[in-house]
């Protein structure tokens, strides 16, 4: 019996360490994959269609929007970005777990269209630690740092819309928590209806 994969949606404020956690999780779970987004921006050197992104013309992307082919999409700096519904569903049907690192607005759109996903919110140990992490990057001026910090406070208000909260104090521990969440979700009764029917049928 082939088990369907799980869509694991990771969000959190800037500086919470989402990217680091996702990369470590993927190293520990090589059978899983990152969701590949579609975009209308031009490919950069060494980027491959279908690997880094699905590169689309603006007309193609807008046709996909009309056909409801995205779990979510947004326009950023003049280019479209979106999560193709068919790609994600195909990989899930193949039994692959798909991880989607995305902003909160995008995650909530995904939840409206695919409520069977696992929605995990990554937070720092404290807001003071978050500010320290943002400052330590050393790549932004004081105005941008303040803007990111204020945005983080607003984003925290959306935690209740998620299924789980994971504190990123030590990366390895945060990854283990996510792995425990995924394992528990795979054992849920409502995700194992075929197995239950098989057992009840005595076959």
Question: pLDDT-based confidence at 138, cuts 50/70/90?
Answer: low
pLDDT beyond 60 at 180 = yes
Which is it for the CA torsion 187, 190, 193, 199, positive or negative? positive
- DSSP code string of 118-183: EEEEEE-S-HHHHHHHHHHH--S-HHHHHHHHHHHHHHHTTGGGSSEEEE-SSHHHHHHHHHHHHH
pLDDT beyond 70 at 1 = no
Question: pLDDT-based confidence at 162, cuts 50/70/90?
Answer: very high
pLDDT beyond 80 at 145 = no
How many beta carbons lie within 10 A of that of residue 55, not counting itself?
Answer: 17
pLDDT beyond 70 at 134 = yes
CA–CA dist 42, 62 (Å, integer): 16
CA–CA dist 165, 76 (Å, integer): 27
User: Alpha carbon 57 to chain centroid distance?
Assistant: 24
Q: Where in the chain is the domain with CATH 3.30.63.10?
A: 36-96
What's this model's pTM, rounded to 2 decimal places? 0.86
- The per-residue pLDDT for 127 is 83
Fold of 36-96: Guanylate Kinase phosphate binding domain (3.30.63)
Question: pLDDT-based confidence at 109, cuts 50/70/90?
Answer: very high
Is the domain 1-32+97-203 a CATH 3.40.50.300 member? yes
Q: Which of 158, 134, 181 is nearest to 16 (CA)?
A: 134
Q: Where in the chain is the domain with CATH 3.40.50.300?
A: 1-32+97-203
CA–CA dist 71, 84 (Å, integer): 6
CA–CA dist 111, 131 (Å, integer): 29
| Mean pLDDT along residues 133-151 | 73
pLDDT tens for each residue of 12-70: 988 888 989 999 999 999 999 999 999 999 999 999 999 899 999 999 999 999 999 99
User: Alpha carbon 3 to chain centroid distance?
Assistant: 21
- The per-residue pLDDT for 203 is 55
- The per-residue pLDDT for 84 is 96
Strand order in the sheet with 37-39: 53-55, 37-39, 79-84, 70-76
């Amino acid at each position: 019996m082939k088990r369907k994969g799980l869509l694991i949606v990771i969000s959190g404020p800037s500086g919470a360490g989402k990217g680091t956690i996702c990369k470590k999780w993927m190293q520990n779970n090589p059978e899983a994959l990152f969701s590949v987004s579609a975009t209308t921006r031009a490919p950069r050197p060494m980027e491959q269609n279908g690997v880094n992104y699905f590169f689309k013309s603006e007309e193609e992307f807008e046709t996909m929007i009309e056909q409801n082919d995205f779990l979510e999409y947004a326009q950023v700096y003049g280019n479209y970005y979106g999560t193709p519904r068919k790609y994600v569903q195909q990989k899930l049907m193949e039994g692959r777990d798909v991880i989607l690192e995305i902003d909160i607005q995008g995650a909530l759109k995904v939840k409206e269209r695919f409520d069977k996903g696992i929605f995990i919110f990554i937070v720092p140990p404290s807001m003071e630690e978050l500010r320290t992490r943002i400052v330590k990057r050393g790549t932004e001026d004081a105005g941008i740092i303040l803007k990111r910090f204020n945005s983080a406070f607003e984003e925290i208000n959306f935690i209740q819309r998620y299924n789980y909260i994971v504190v990123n104090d030590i990366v390895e521990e945060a990854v283990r928590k996510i792995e425990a969440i995924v394992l528990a979700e795979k054992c849920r009764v409502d995700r194992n209806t075929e197995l239950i029917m098989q057992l009840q049928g005595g076959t």
